[in-house]
Structure 1
Amino acid sequence: MYYDRDFGVVVLEKSWVPAPRYLMRRARLLSWMKAEKPGRILEIGPGSGALLKDFARAGWECVGLDTSSDALALADYIRDRDQRIELCSDQRRLAGQTFDYVIACEVLEHIEDDSSAFEEWASFLKPRGGLILSVPAHQKRWDATDEWAGHFRRYENEDLVRIAGENGMLVEKLECYGFPLALITTALRARRISNDSRQGPLHESMDSKTAHSGISRSFESRYFGLQQSLPGRISIKVFIFLQRLFLKTQLGNGYIMLARKP
């Protein structure tokens, strides 16, 4: 495991690498939080815990809540005894605690009753605290990656505004990220999943697919050598810059929203 100046955490020995779409999302989140005074963050479903490591390095006190034992094991490995990061699997341990920010990246689409989940996450916020979500965008883009990951839905702009409003939250920022790189890499991943599915059905429960989708990087690991080469690094930087030009359009395949508690 090492911390890359461009990509953050890289764990080749565990076959976890930062995928391009993750990097596009990470760039926006770190940009949003750069000017914030470090406080307390709760991440719901942190997966590998790589984002927690980013925030801990920036001085935040972090808690990761996940029900997947595999995800927690990887996050604990990445935490590497960092005292600024706490991991837990039982939400009851957080009773009475409040946070400056709650983050849930690529989680809400896995939950059938998404409004109740949103309300529950918001209850952890301090007054004026912020709830940051990322979700897959546009139902018309539904593909094999959604089936494989166990998604209930993809979202439209108005869906996120509605769910925030129903829970008394004010949308402060809403961006459609990922154009154009994430569209390309998602299409390649969908093709690979479709080809694999022809070999036989994937007999997995919804919970196991959800957990697996958060930490599986076997496909991306095959190409990480190219990604970390000089041309690869330059390309990622160019695409991260390019997506900034399209954040207010609907061309991307993911949304990031910051909703503020009154």
Structure 2
Amino acid sequence: MSDSTTFPSTPQSESITTRNRVFYDQLWSGAKLIRPQSFHTWKMFSGMAREAGRRLEIGPGLRPRLPLEGTDFFDLSSEAVRQLRRAGGSARTGSASDPLPYEDATFGLVCALDIVEHVEDDHAVLSEIARVAAPGARLIISAPLHADRWIPFDDLVGHCRRYDPDVFFAMLESNGFTIEESAGYGMQPKSSRLLDFGMRFLAWRPREGMWWYNNIFMPIGLMFQSELKFAPGTEHTRNLDEVLLICRKTG
């Protein structure tokens, strides 16, 4: 992993939390909040939210997937928290690497999309999620799979790892979560040439690169979202680059 694949203002000597905070504060400072109704997850997730009572979304940035009203949001970026609050959400600033500032068994639904791969101690993060989830609560969680598929994009967005599917599923089960459904997920660029060009452009002109991501590539990505195709269990997920899981706290 060369230095050229890391966002230029975040030296490798800094902690992963600090690097992620700098990257996402810069990303979100030039972005507008995209409301959850814009995503292909809305119909399913909003229905789950209505059934859940109190709910928590960890690390939504400016792309929340649960309803703004009635959801607690917890994010590393102060810029994201500021905009979530301005839009009517209840949001706190903090790192998923630290204990969550909520009481035990508080939430009937927890959403943590693209979070566990960003932190050094992913076991502690899952333990905290299990702590604040009420008995019978649902967990919506996603993660990138297969270490041998690591690409510069993983460096750029602050990933610590990709997961072996069996290891990731076992981690969830060891924290009391039963996997009910799974689907392919993610908005990682499919074209390696486009991705390489984007990486070079970000290294050369980071501010302009962020503008293009927020104002051009993200809206295009929203237009071409693929339908989520859920299936019971996890057997169909072995060849996916990223997986989205619906779990139930049963342990």
Give me the TM-score of the superposition, normalised by structure 1: 0.65
Task: Encode CA deviations 1:94-117: one digit per residue, 9 max, x unaligned.
Answer: 235601111111111111111111
Greater than 6 Å deviation, 4+ residue runs: none
The answer on 1:87 being equivalent to 2:96 is: no
Matches within 5 A, 1:160-199: 160-178=168-186, 182-184=188-190, 188-197=194-203, 199=204
1:209 matched residue in structure 2: none
Query: Is 1:45 the equivalent of 2:59?
Result: yes
Q: Does 1:27 align with 2:61?
A: no
How many residues in Structure 1 have an aligned counterpart in Structure 2?
A: 212
1:153 offset after TM fit, Å? 0.3
Q: 1:69 to 1:170 in 2, by over 3 A?
A: same
Who is 2:216 aligned against?
223
Q: Percent identity?
A: 23
Structure 1 distance, partners of 2:193, 2:32, is: 20
Q: Does the Cα contact within 8 Å between 1:170 and 1:260 map onto a contact in 2?
A: yes
Change (3 A) 1:74 1:118: same
Per-residue displacement from partner, 1:131-163 (whole Å, max 9, x unpaired)?
211122322221112111221101232122110
Distance 2:131 2:155 in 1: 30
Q: Decide whether the 8 Å contact of 1:137 with 1:176 is kept in 2.
A: no
Equivalent residue for 2:241, pick from 248, 253, 257: 253
Task: Tell me the CA shift for residue 227 of structure 1.
Answer: 3.1
Alpha carbons 2:30, 2:210 under 8 Å: kept: no
Q: Structure 1 residues 128 and 252, CA, compared in 2 at 3 Å: closer, same or farther?
A: same
Residues 164 and 115 (structure 1), Cα distance of their counterparts in 2 relative to 1, 3 Å cut: same
Output the CA distance in 1 between the equivalents of 2:249 and 2:90. Answer: 24
Q: Counterpart in 2 of 1:212?
A: none
Question: Counterpart of 1:221 in 2: which secondary structure?
Answer: helix
Residue aligning to 1:134: 142
Query: 2:218, 2:115 → 1: CA distance?
Result: 29
The CA distance in 1 between the partners of 2:44 and 2:190, in whole Å, is: 23
1:171/1:67 Cα in 2 relative to 1: closer, same or farther (>3 Å)? same
CA distance change for structure 1 residues 163 and 225 in 2, over 3 Å: closer, same or farther? closer
- Secondary structure of the 2:91 match is strand
Code of the residue aligned with 1:89 in structure 2: it is T
Judged with a 3 Å threshold, the aligned counterparts in structure 2 of structure 1 residues 251 and 30 are, in CA distance, closer, same or farther, namely: farther
Q: Which of 226, 229, 249 is the equivalent residue of 1:240?
A: 226
Cα distance 1:189–1:99, how it changes in 2: closer, same or farther (>3 A)? same
Could you tell me which runs of 5 or more consecutive residues in structure 1 were left unpaired when the two chains were aligned: 1-11, 203-215
How far the C-alpha of 1:119 sits from its partner, in A, is: 0.8
The CA RMSD measured in Å over matched residues stands at: 3.7
Q: Equivalent residue of 1:51, what SS?
A: coil
Shift of 1:33: 5.0
Q: Distance in 2 between matches of 1:150 and 1:121?
A: 21
Whole-angstrom distance in 1 between the partners of 2:112 and 2:64: 13
Whole-angstrom distance in 1 between the partners of 2:166 and 2:238:
12
User: Which residue among 76, 79, 83 is the counterpart of 2:85?
Assistant: 76
Whether the aligned pair in 2 keeps the contact of 1:46 and 1:65 (CA below 8 Å) is yes
